[in-house]
Structures are given as structure tokens and as C-alpha cells.
Structure 1
Amino acid sequence: MSVYNAYMALSGALDADVRRDERLSMRTTFHIGGPAALYATVHSYPALRRVIERLGAEDVPWVVLGRGSNILAADAGYRGCVIRLGREFSKVSFGKDGTVSAGAGATLSRLVTETLAHSLSGLEFCVGIPGTVGGAVSMDAGTRHEWIGPLVSDLVTYKPGEGLRRYQGSEVEWGYRWTSLPGDEIILEANLALRPGDKTQIGEEMDRRLSRRRTRQPLGSPSCGSVFRNPGDRSAGRLIEECGLKGYRVGGAVVSTQHANFVVNDGGATAADVIAVIRHVHDEVAARFGVELTPEVKCLGFEE
């Protein structure tokens, strides 16, 4: 593996900005994580393809990262290249009859805001959810009862070494925080089928949902969102709370007193602190209820 050779080959690349030793604490909503050996922002499909081909030639591992809203990066960082989808992948456009085309790099908050401006209903449940469109589609983001997947009419991915692929939404299995999309393909764009509505009513519903989130979730504190998936019809947060774990702390990592399924960075938390909290919570819930909670947060850099 030669990170240096990859960096030199990609420096000054057309439609790509490549940096060395970019701290992941600045690129994740947890504000935790050491440096990525390389950090590449690609602004076009040719740039994405070239970057991945060069990384492959130099045997440098890579991962695509949106806003880092469900990522816990290792304290030691990531020895490979973190790829962010930039300009060409951040566009949002509107067609007829409620169709919306959104690049995977566009933020979900921007998409929600623009659908409101165009008086389109369907994404009200996404208000307040951080991250990008690509991340939301890849994990079928949403609430316990509403997911973004059923709104996807079709999407485009890139499979390294083979090229672009298009899927109809009906070809994809959509589940709770899961899709059947191949894990080795990168989502580039999604087309959503929304419905025309009354702008005032849509805005009021978004305000109601956002107010509810702010009341129930620690949106103002660094976190990765929900740490565990809800086990079936049961609430992970409720199980954790019933174990008396609200406020449980290791270093700067704390189980939120507002919502027990959130671990917040109370200042200076390390990835090791968070892992220790997650393990303790998992073990306590398993011991009391016999339920094995499944983490929803994705870890980056720990395998090295």
C-alpha cells in the first residue's frame, strides 16, 4: 500500500480536491476521530472513477463518507482514503408531477427544505435527520414507521471496475435501516416520487415533527444519532432507560439524559470512551431483558 504514491498521482487532479491527514473529528457529527491518511472530495463522475482506480492501483483502501452522521471514527484515524461526493453529486432538481432528482452528496436537510419550497409532500418525516441523500437511501433512513425507501422511484449507482448501474425502486428491498443494494456500489443519485400538497400544511407538519425531535432528542450535542436499532417492536431507548443507564459515563461519552439511545460527546470524548459505553449498555440490556441490541452506528478505522 502506498498512500504517498496515491497522493502524488491525485494531487491537482481535475475535479478532485485531495488532502493528507484530514482529522475525522472535523468530518463526523460525533466530533471524534483521528486523521484519514487521504481525504478526497470528488466533484464529478470521471473524478470519482479516476480516484478509485488510482487507489486500487496503489492498494489503498477507501470509503465514501457523507456528513458522518452515523459514524464513529477510531482515535487512530483511518489509514485509507475517505471520499466525499462534491459538486456534481450535490444537485437537486424538480420535474413534473412531484418527481425530485437528488444527488447523493446533497444534504437531507436541503432536500427537505426545497421540497417544502416546491409544495411537495412526503418527506416531512425526514425533517431534523442529519446526513446526505446517499447515506439516507443506503440505510433507508427515517422513523420507526416511515422510511425514505418507498419514495425512491429509481436510483443510480457506480460499481468500481464496471461502471454505472440503474435500479428501479421496486427492484430494491427496503427494510428497517437496511436495503438490498450491493455494499460495493456507491449511490450517486436518487429520484423520489413525492406528491403535491398545501405548502402551509406541509410546513406546519415539518415544524411539528422538528419540535418533537428537539424535545425528545439531544440535537444540540455531538452524537451519531441512534446508537442501536430498535429490536422488533420494542424501543431500544426504553430498554436502556429501564436499566437506569441515562447519564452513564465513560470519559467524555455519556448516555443522553434526554434519550437513552443516544450517546453524546460531552467534551473531549474519545472513540474508546464511546465503545466502552456501548459495550456496557449492550451487556446490561442483555443481562436484564435477554435482548441483544444491534448497533446502528458504523465504525471506521477499528479493523486496523
Structure 2
Amino acid sequence: MSIFNAYMALSGAYDADVTRDERLSHHTTYRIGGPAALFVKVNSYPALLKTIEILGREGVDWVVLGKGSNILAADRGYDGCVIVLGREFSRISFDGSEVTAGAGATIARLVSETLSHSLSGLECLVGIPGTVGGAVSMDAGTRHEWIGARVKDVVTLRPGEGLHRYAGSDIEWGYRYTDIPTSEIILEATFALVPDEKAAIAERMEALVARRRLRQPLGKPSCGSVFRNPGSRSVGQLIDSCGLKGYSVGGACVSDMHANFIVNNGGARAADVIAVMSRVHDTVLDKYGIDLVPEVKCLGFGA
């Protein structure tokens, strides 16, 4: 693997911004993470293709990162290349009651623009940080509504093969899961929405935001929910019943507001978060026999 050769080749890439040793703490909502060996913001499809080609030729591992809202990056960083989808992948367009959004568009902007067009169906996303690509890949939403229910189709890039279009009905959607291969890069998605009164849509959004403000520690850096709910049970309630609210290691702490949030109280390291996660996992397993599955994705920890 040659990071240097990849850096030199990528530095000449059209429509791409390339840096070395970019701290991932600047690109995750946890505000945690060491440097990425390479960090590339690609602003066009040709730039993305060229970047993937060069990284493959040089044997450099890579990962696509949105807003880092569901990521715990290692303290030592990531020894591959982090790719961020820029300008061309952030477009949003409307055709009647359908909206097509690039994977790099933020969820906040998508929700705002659908509201301005008086289109209903994506209210469940309001207040969720991140990008469209990340939301589609993990079927984001609430416990009762998910983005997948509104997806008409998804366009991905299969490295070495080219573009592929999935009909929404061909994708297996599950709780924080889709069967879109992780080897493919989501480029855009089209959503089938329903016209409605703007005031009614706004009222539903405001109610959901209000509930989140009351129940979630939105004022502190976090990755959102750390563990998946086991079936119909609330993992937050399980953790709370184990007396773990307020449990901390270093700067990482189980939130007093919502036990399935581990917040960064300041200066937290990834190792601190992992230690808290381990304690929570083992305690719930011992008390209830439930093997909690992380919802947060880890980057740079290796084998």
C-alpha cells in the first residue's frame, strides 16, 4: 500500500480536494477520532471514479463518510482514505410529488425542501443529523417509521463495474438495515411523497422535534443511539434499569436523559466510549440475557 503515491496521484485529480492526516474528530458528531491518512472530497462523478481507481491501484483501503453522525472513529485514526461526496452529490430536484436527492445532501436540507414543496412522507427524518446516503444505507427514521417506505429507487456505484439502479421494492429494508452491499457507494435516491397542507406537515415535524428535545441529549456530542433495540424492547429502558445512567469512563458518559446515548462530556477518547459500551453490553447481558448489538459503526479499529 502506498499512501504517498495515492496522495500524489489524487492531488492532480479534477474536482477533488485532497488532504493528508485530516483529523476525524472534525468530521464526526462525536468529535472523536484521530487522523485519516488521506481525506478526499470528490465534487463530481468523474472525480469519484478517478479516486476509486487510484486507491485500488495503490492498494489503499477506503470508506465513504457522510456527516459522521453514526461513527465512532479510533483514537489512532484510519490508515486508509476517507471519501466525502461533495457538490455534484448534494443536489435535490423535484418532479411532481417525487424528489431525487444526492447521497451527499444533508437530511436537514431534504426535509426542509420537501416541506417547502408541501410534500409529506419524510417527517420521520426531522432532527436526524447526517446525509441522504447514510440515511438510506441504515434505513433511518423513528421506531415506527423509516425512510425505506418512501424510496422509489436508489442509484449506486459498483466499483469496477459502474452504475446500478435498485427499485425500492427490490431492497430488503429492516430496522437500521438494508441489504444494499457495503461494497457499493450510494449516489442518489428518489422518494415518492404525498402532497399535503404545509401547515399540517410542519406541525408533525415540530411535534417530533419537541419529543426529541425532551428525550435526547441533543446539546452534547454523541453518535445518537448506540445500540439497536432488541425487538420491541427499548434498549434505553433496559440500560436504565441496570442503574447505568451517569456511568462514565474518561469523558464518555451514559446520558442521564437517555440511557442509549453515550455522550462526550469533553475530551472523550474512542477508548473511553468503547469501555462504556462494553460495561453496558456486559451488564445487560448478565441481567437479562440480551446480547445488545451496536448501532454505531466503528472506523479505524482494525483487527
Q: What band does the TM-score fall into relative to the shorter chain?
A: over 0.9
For the residue of structure 2 that corresponds to 1:277, the secondary structure is helix
Provide the residue aligned with 1:301 in structure 2.
300
Which residue identity is paired with 1:84? V
Consecutive aligned runs of 4 or more in structure 1 exceeding 2 Å deviation? none
Does residue 6 (structure 1) correspond to residue 9 (structure 2)? The answer is: no
Provide the residue aligned with 1:282 in structure 2.
281
Provide the residue aligned with 2:98 in structure 1.
99
For the residue of structure 1 that corresponds to 2:114, the secondary structure is helix
CA distance in 2, matches of 1:208, 1:146: 15
CA drift of 1:125 comes to 1.1
Gaps of 5+ in 2: none
Provide the residue aligned with 1:163 in structure 2.
162
Provide the residue aligned with 2:144 in structure 1.
145
Which residue identity is paired with 2:51? V
CA drift of 1:180 comes to 1.1
Which residue identity is paired with 1:49? L
CA distance in 1, matches of 2:142, 2:200: 20
Q: What's the CA shift string for 1:159-188, capped at 9, x where partnerless?
A: 000000001001101000111111110000
CA distance in 1, matches of 2:256, 2:92: 37
CA distance in 1, matches of 2:299, 2:181: 19
Provide the residue aligned with 1:42 in structure 2.
42
TM-score by length of 1: 0.99
CA distance in 2, matches of 1:220, 1:52: 37
CA distance in 1, matches of 2:26, 2:89: 21
CA distance in 1, matches of 2:170, 2:37: 37
Which residue identity is paired with 1:72? L
CA distance in 1, matches of 2:47, 2:24: 22
For the residue of structure 2 that corresponds to 1:223, the secondary structure is coil
CA distance in 2, matches of 1:172, 1:13: 33
Aligned counterparts, 1:224-243, within 5 A = 224-243=223-242
CA distance in 2, matches of 1:200, 1:142: 21
Which residue identity is paired with 1:158? L
CA drift of 1:220 comes to 1.4
Provide the residue aligned with 2:57 in structure 1.
57
> Pairwise CA RMSD of aligned residues?
0.6
| Number of residue equivalences | 303
Aligned counterparts, 1:183-194, within 5 A = 183-194=182-193
Provide the residue aligned with 2:23 in structure 1.
23
CA drift of 1:129 comes to 0.5
CA drift of 1:81 comes to 0.3
CA drift of 1:201 comes to 0.9
CA distance in 1, matches of 2:179, 2:23: 32
Provide the residue aligned with 2:267 in structure 1.
268
Provide the residue aligned with 1:85 in structure 2.
85
CA distance in 2, matches of 1:175, 1:205: 24
For the residue of structure 1 that corresponds to 2:60, the secondary structure is coil
CA drift of 1:150 comes to 1.3
Q: What's the CA shift string for 1:62-115, capped at 9, x where partnerless?
A: 00000000000000000000000000000011111x100000000001100111
TM-score by length of 2: 0.99
CA distance in 1, matches of 2:204, 2:137: 25
CA distance in 2, matches of 1:192, 1:20: 36
CA drift of 1:151 comes to 0.4
Which residue identity is paired with 2:3? V
CA drift of 1:12 comes to 3.1
Which residue identity is paired with 2:202? G
Which residue identity is paired with 2:20? R
CA distance in 2, matches of 1:182, 1:146: 23
Percent identity over paired residues: 70
